[in-house]
Structure 1
Amino acid sequence: MTTPDPRAALACPFPAKLHPAVHTARSHVDDWVVSAGIVRKPASLARFANADFAGFAAATYPDTDVTGVLLMADWFAWLFLVDDELDDGITGTRPDHIGAVLADIATTLRAPDDASAVPVGNTGAVRALGDLWARTAPRATPGWRRRFGAHVGECFTAAAWEANNRVHDVVPGEAVYVERRRHTGAIYVCMDLIEPMRDTELPDDVLADPVFRDALDAACDVVCWTNDVFSLEKERRLGEWHNLVAVVGHARGLSDQDALPLACDMIDARTAEYVEHEAALLAEFDTEPVRRYVEGMRTWIRGNLDWSRATHRYREGASDEHTSRYLEPSLMGGSS
């Protein structure tokens, strides 16, 4: 008898939503990645289209304006293409190169607040980021831009940590993996983008309050762990250990098959914890900015689950030969 896939039983208490401009976003982002020069190979373009990052943006930011959903489709394209280079390509085994790219990214994100900020490198990732940032920065305050830039920096610092683990064959423990996963998954970055996409900004007292941090981290964990269970087969075929299922299995002496149901149980339990933390957050800060942010976390949790089930991104076979067909060496300035 075939054992039911536990991923099919993952539940979400929030309703599905989809931006009405989803079809426009799909056409737009397909054109943008080509014009930005970050997708060039025919195999890369086909794989990109199958992933449906515009559909992901429409499901996770369904209430933004049309300009916003087009921008978010482009952000997702950039984030996932960079993630492919970090996870599937040689860049993911070169902590020093990741640091060099991060320096240029950090410089790019200092504009428009620092007129002297000019990146040294000329990689596809940095050039495309310049376009994204020119469209994002005007929608936010200097304080938000600094917070966002810090979170992007933490993503690349965590990516260098993963690269170092790969070089030295280190499998992280569960606790450290969970903490770092919020950074390698760029989920703080994506949650930051709720604010300009919903025309709001959280005040410092909310951002600093433990009740907000508890809700945010719970939402981030649900999103990242959901990504892990759906991307498991792809990542394991590439020999990747940075996945909740693999980490749990390694720590507890279990196969991936036996660890997968445990990871799904963890997602369900963390979702229930998020609901509790959300209620506590709204009880303490029942304000319009917080309500808008909470709605953004809800659509992220639900939209991520729906997209993960629908996308073809994780259904393709993965091998070194296959990745060489779709990785773009010019994106990160290294040979993939």
Structure 2
Amino acid sequence: MPDFFHPFPYRISPYVAEAREHLTDWTRRIGLIEREAARKRFAKADFGWFAAMVYPTADATQLNLMADWFAWLFLVDDQLDDGSIGRSPERARDIVDGMRAVLESPDHGAAAVADRDGPVAVSALADLWLRTAPHATANWRRRFVQHLDDCLTVAATWEAGNRVAGTVPDEETYIEMRRHTGAIYVCMDLIDIVERIDIPDSLYTDAQFRAALDAACNVVCWTNDVYSLAKERALGEVHNLVHIVEHHRGLDTSGALDHVCAATSTETMLFLEKERELLAARPEHHAVLVPGLAGMRTWMRGNLDWSRSTKRYRPVEGDEEIRPEEYLEASLMKVDQ
């Protein structure tokens, strides 16, 4: 595996053990994990550890919430990537509509938490939103809702449509869409919750801030693509930058990996450049910029450490096959896999 340029130090929350224990209990209690095969696969990913590395400054309560968000995001992603709903754009849109209703509800999802007749993914989202939204500003809630809606909509329509049509997207389109389907804008928004900051729109829409943010998001997404390549190929998934580079540039897998790893290192250097420019140009915003940019740094490093070590992306052994029907919980989306 080619190496990455990663100048950021390793950090981890002291509450990692508590987050792991909490996450096991929450996913079972909320109904996200029921079957033994699903539990075993979920445990291998170690999302509590992941959250502890990318949000190392979170207090214990915050880290539990971050870990729960990760569980929900990854389990929904599995449904859309590996399950039948990811090949049924109309059904996927119905689920996304239900999720959007939770995010737009005036009670922040309080009523939807108790709804056990609908998809568990929706009631679990309501639980998360009820624990997140009341502590955030209206400005942050608006931005987060838009990012999560973009993530779900693009995954449910664009990706699903590509699978149905057998389309391998071009690099430029994929790179833009990947920041949405990977929920990385959503995860970067959560830095504000952990750090208790509120980035004003005037700063968030600034070209230098957007350049730094997008570079950090690209590093995270492309790193994930490198390490998840084997798992995704086993499932016939084409939404992976290494696969797309190989397909459109006529490279072999080794050459495509070299290309993507080099591009990822270039994005890391671009982030560092834009970070310096932004801090020099906006001293009046250092109170939010310093912790916000530090959060992007820990996200890039923590994601690399997790991606390298998690068993989520390890190839199966021997003749064993990846069987989504064994680990996808039908209750999440109320659909047969």
For the aligned pair, the TM-score class normalised by the smaller chain equals over 0.9
Once residues 52 and 97 of structure 1 are traced to their aligned partners in structure 2, the CA distance between those partners, rounded to angstroms, is 30
Partner AA of 1:147 in structure 2 = R
Partner AA of 2:307 in structure 1 = S
1:221 aligns with 2:218: yes
Task: Describe the SS at the equivalent of 2:8.
Answer: coil
Once residues 111 and 70 of structure 2 are traced to their aligned partners in structure 1, the CA distance between those partners, rounded to angstroms, is 24
**Residues 154 and 327 from structure 1, CA distance in 2 versus in 1: closer, same or farther, beyond 3 angstroms?**
same
Partner AA of 2:48 in structure 1 = A
Tell me what 1:64 maps to.
Answer: 58
Partner AA of 2:31 in structure 1 = G
Tell me what 2:307 maps to.
Answer: 308
Tell me what 2:90 maps to.
Answer: 96
Tell me what 1:21 maps to.
Answer: 15
Within 5 Å, give how 1:164-203 maps onto structure 2: 164-203=161-200
Tell me what 2:293 maps to.
Answer: 294
CA-atom RMSD in angstroms:
1.8
Q: Contact 1:105–1:129 (CA<8 Å) still a contact in 2?
A: yes
Runs of 4+ in structure 1 off by over 4 angstroms are 113-121, 318-321
Q: Shift in Å at residue 118 of structure 1?
A: 6.2
Partner AA of 1:269 in structure 2 = T
Q: Shift in Å at residue 225 of structure 1?
A: 0.2
Give a deviation string over 1:73-131, Cα, whole Å, max 9, x none.
Answer: 10000000001111111111011111111111111112346799869971010010111
Q: Gapped runs of 5+ residues in structure 1?
A: none
Determine what percentage of the aligned residue pairs are the same residue: 50
Q: Contact 2:242–2:260 (CA<8 Å) still a contact in 1?
A: yes
Task: Describe the SS at the equivalent of 2:311.
Answer: coil
Partner AA of 2:308 in structure 1 = R
Correspondence for 1:260 among 253, 257, 272: 257
Partner AA of 2:154 in structure 1 = A
**Residues 183 and 257 from structure 1, CA distance in 2 versus in 1: closer, same or farther, beyond 3 angstroms?**
same
Partner AA of 1:310 in structure 2 = S
Q: Contact 2:110–2:130 (CA<8 Å) still a contact in 1?
A: no
Once residues 124 and 113 of structure 1 are traced to their aligned partners in structure 2, the CA distance between those partners, rounded to angstroms, is 19
Q: Gapped runs of 5+ residues in structure 2?
A: none
Partner AA of 2:138 in structure 1 = P
**Residues 115 and 226 from structure 1, CA distance in 2 versus in 1: closer, same or farther, beyond 3 angstroms?**
closer
Task: Describe the SS at the equivalent of 1:171.
Answer: coil
Partner AA of 2:325 in structure 1 = S
1:279 aligns with 2:280: no
* TM-score normalised according to structure 1 size: 0.94
Partner AA of 1:11 in structure 2 = F
Aligned length: 330
Q: Contact 2:31–2:120 (CA<8 Å) still a contact in 1?
A: yes
Tell me what 1:153 maps to.
Answer: 149
**Residues 117 and 95 from structure 1, CA distance in 2 versus in 1: closer, same or farther, beyond 3 angstroms?**
farther
Once residues 11 and 269 of structure 1 are traced to their aligned partners in structure 2, the CA distance between those partners, rounded to angstroms, is 8
Partner AA of 1:105 in structure 2 = M
* TM-score normalised according to structure 2 size: 0.94
Once residues 322 and 83 of structure 2 are traced to their aligned partners in structure 1, the CA distance between those partners, rounded to angstroms, is 11
Q: Contact 1:112–1:137 (CA<8 Å) still a contact in 2?
A: no
Q: Contact 2:220–2:300 (CA<8 Å) still a contact in 1?
A: yes
Tell me what 1:317 maps to.
Answer: 316
Tell me what 1:76 maps to.
Answer: 70
Tell me what 2:79 maps to.
Answer: 85
Correspondence for 1:48 among 42, 49, 70: 42
Q: Shift in Å at residue 10 of structure 1?
A: 1.6
Within 5 Å, give how 1:121-132 maps onto structure 2: 122-132=118-128
**Residues 165 and 198 from structure 1, CA distance in 2 versus in 1: closer, same or farther, beyond 3 angstroms?**
same
Q: Contact 2:168–2:238 (CA<8 Å) still a contact in 1?
A: yes
Partner AA of 1:158 in structure 2 = V
Q: Contact 1:174–1:248 (CA<8 Å) still a contact in 2?
A: yes
Tell me what 1:141 maps to.
Answer: 137
Q: Shift in Å at residue 38 of structure 1?
A: 0.7
